[in-house]
Amino acid sequence: MQIVDAQIHLWGTGLPSNLSHRQVTHFTPEEAIVLMDQGGVDAAVIHPPGWDPNSTDMAFKAVQDYPGRFAIMGSLPLDQPDSRARITGWRDQPGMLGLRYTFLHDPARQWLADGTLDWLWAEAEKAGVPIAMLATDSLTDLSRIAERHPGLRLTIDHLGGRGGLTTLKDAQAMTHMPELLALAKFPNVAVKATGAPGYSSEAYPFPAMHTYLRQIYDAFGPHRMFWGTDITKMPCSWRQCVTMFTEALPWLSDQDKKLIMGDALCAWWGWVRTA
């Protein structure tokens, strides 16, 4: 069974602007590989963070230096005219799987709602470029996008929640679940089950989160539910993030685990891993 983390951040300079991340000036590919090996994690998808302007270059170098261990979900500026033309060849870049955006604040949140970004969905669908997003307050808006662009693979980050951009825990952090589960009717929408321990006020194996993971599993199925960590925000080790799913969720079959822990993600984003 391959274990593929759906989301991590790597950087070489600066402190994370999101204070829920470890406040360190670097978390490099070399550091990540050591911890991945200790935790039994075969590969991870890098989401270059905005606080390090060189993080995308670091991600490309990680893909080159560690074949089969890293891939990338990058981004294009949404307010620059030349971004539209770049989508066609986006996946031609080494290790690049798709695009990832945060739609938690204006103006990006408003652009998503009012149709300003309709060009993005159309171009990405045409080019076969998947899009992942953090969009808790805009989940209902995604219904329109998913319905209009059935060939566009959309992935909702962090169980549909805000990830580390909240201090809410347990049920209070999961009030968005009805809106998230409603999106399961669209076969082109999937969910990253990333960062679940960070939403819990409890210790490992974070039992309060199991109910919500089961709801996502029941709605989306194992082909559209992807394990991951956002490890620099987690209150536990990489290994515990793994075993929370592989050992503490008895309702997952062995085949479910193979899909959720890596196979489904690689299929959804078209990552053909070769070492």
> What is the tens place of the pLDDT at every residue in 101-130?
999 999 999 999 999 999 999 999 999 999
Distance CA 76, CA 107 (A): 15
Q: Which residues touch 163 (CB under 8 Å, ≥6 apart)?
A: 20, 134, 157, 194, 195, 198, 230, 233
Q: Please indicate, yes or no, if residue 177 is contained in any of the structural domains.
A: yes
> Is residue 274 one of the residues assigned to a domain?
no
CATH number at residue 56: 3.20.20.140
* Mean pLDDT, residues 212-221: 98
pLDDT of 23: 86
- Does residue 184 carry a pLDDT above 70? yes
248 φ/ψ angles, rounded to the nearest 5 degrees: -105, 0
Across residues 244-268, what is the average pLDDT?
98
* pLDDT surpassing 80 at residue 164: no
Is pLDDT at 190 greater than 80 in this prediction? yes
pLDDT band at 16 (very low <50, low <70, confident <90, very high): confident
Question: Which whole number is the average pLDDT over 149-174?
Answer: 93
Over residues 221-239, mean pLDDT: 96
Q: Which helix (H) or strand (E) holds 114?
A: helix 108-114
Residue 257: both structure tokens together = 């685990």
* 40 contact partners, CB below 8 Å, separation of at least 6: 3, 238, 239, 242
Q: Which residues of 238-254 are buried (b: 16+ CB within 10 A; e: fewer)?
A: bebbbbbbbebbeebee
Residue 275 placed within a domain: no
- Of 92, 98, 160, 87, whose CA–CA distance to 132 is shortest? 98
| Domains identified in the chain, total number | 1
Mean per-residue pLDDT of the chain? 96
Give residue 152's identity as a one-letter amino acid code: L
H helix or E strand, kind and range, residue 178: helix 177-182
| Residue ranges making up the domain that contains 106 | 4-269
Q: List Cβ neighbours of 21 (8 Å cut-off, separation of 6 or more).
A: 9, 164, 232, 233
Q: Is this prediction's pTM over 0.85?
A: yes
Structure tokens at 117: 């970004």
Write down the pLDDT at residue 275. 59
Band of pLDDT at residue 147, cut at 50, 70 and 90: very high
In a domain, 122, yes or no: yes
State the burial class of residue 91 (Cβ atoms within 10 Å of its Cβ: 0-12, 13-18, 19+): middle
Judged by average pLDDT, the poorest of 10-19, 37-46, 74-83, 87-96 is 10-19
